[in-house]
Structure 1
């Protein structure tokens, strides 16, 4: 009787383990895109930087960026930045400025990193560049105002990636560190 029970249990165990084979999804069949990863400073606290109202030309937003696409950045064409101004201090008037083109950084301006092999570049926006792009003067900004910089990654096949068509793991995750958005606060 014990042998029969053991035999039945063994048979049930073998039958329970039987599965249908599932085909593996090949990487070539998956949708791929790209993102600009912030390498340093890491992590970027809410992607926030500051410029000094007293020294707009000498202060800046600056970070080391890495273009990540399949084949170590081979699909990367450019990273285009736009800038808007949010006037949070009505004492000197309200001079909000909608998003305008700031600069385009071509893939040719990025250099492959020796360790990761992905192309990297230092991205800098000075306070003076922010003023010029928005058409403002130093008198138009006050401590407490801010500039909002947004990025668009362009690929060689014409596709674009922004915060709105990229997943939360990429834009908000500490590992990927790719917000496609940078805030420049105006300080004293």
Structure 2
């Protein structure tokens, strides 16, 4: 099992919690600067991309849950701030506001925007920010926006003690853990219409595994099927983002988590993290239309070279796909 030491530790903790005869025990909130605090659990990413061809109808929308030791009632406000970035070939990232400046406030939620729900004991809020508001907040116009641009949204929570929680002081567990799902930070990409959903045959070679894994158990090659399911305008969930590696090298289930494959007007990248909190990167090796070959690796050291071919014989991989 992948990362067995972490899993054993979590399992032991679970046993202790169960044996405590408590109906519900919320884990200690692991902030760097506070013993206990608050966080915003991402319940649903209703919309997390802007359509380049329909910016007036595009929006960034989330359902958030306020979690603290008082059932979410300690929350006083949540600022939603934004800045814009663009990757310029052979130059690097350009930020608006400039990287040395603060991001811009685009929306503030108050405690009154959060209300009880029937699924948990905490309070929840739903918000939607039109693309036009984000564009105006960073000092741009719709005509300035290009395909592949990214709007970085950052959440800043203030509680009734005046304490502030954001991506600047949250721990890695809070950001990427499957339970917490609270990054306080969201990349919203300007995308073009995409059609990569479907069932694909995969063959993975050049297999590597992180510490504790056994790449040799894969026998050099692993094959199977993976389903790409469109979750937003240009984002796809993957039934197995390890393309067989978790199964053969770790005897583990697929990565799952919030991991998504994004097609930003042909620019492929992984966003989110797997169930262990690890991000992934991808680099295209070749694309002849019938098959797509790429290298991939995660932060733990698992990786490989994977070739995809579609079950649908009429499917053609777009010729504008790229990873840099």
Instruction: Map residues 35-114 of structure 1 onto 2, 5 A cutoff.
Output: 35-41=39-45, 49-89=48-88, 96-98=95-97, 99-114=103-118
Matching residue within 170, 183, 187 for 1:183: 187
Q: Which runs of 5+ in 1 are unaligned?
A: 1-26, 43-47
Normalising by the residue count of structure 1, what TM-score does the alignment of the two structures yield? 0.74
Report the structure, 1 or 2, having the larger strand content.
2
Q: Counterparts in 2 of 1:10-25, with a 5 A limit?
A: none
Aligned length in residues: 152
* SS of structure 1 residue aligned to 2:48: strand
Q: Matches of 2:48 and 2:113 in 1, distance apart?
A: 23
Contact (CA 8 Å) 2:87, 2:94: kept in 1 or not? no
Answer whether contact 1:89 1:145 (CA < 8 A) is retained: no
What is the deviation of 1:95?
A: 6.7
Work out the CA distance in 1 between the residues paired with 2:115 and 2:73: 12
Higher Rg: 1
CA distance in 2, matches of 1:65, 1:138: 28
Q: Is the 8 Å Cα contact of residues 64 and 126 (structure 2) preserved in structure 1?
A: yes
Higher relative contact order (CA 8 A, sep 6+): 1
Q: TM-score, normalised by structure 2?
A: 0.44
Query: Which 4+ stretches in 1 moved above 2 angstroms?
Result: 87-90
**Structure 2 unmatched ranges of 5 or more:** 1-27, 29-33, 98-102, 193-324
Partner of 2:125: 121
Q: Deviations over 1:112-131 (max 9, x none)?
A: 11231211111212211111
The structure with more helix, counted as a fraction of residues: 1
What CA distance in whole angstroms lies between the structure 2 residues aligned with 1:69 and 1:155? 9
**Displacement of 1:104 after TM fit?**
0.8
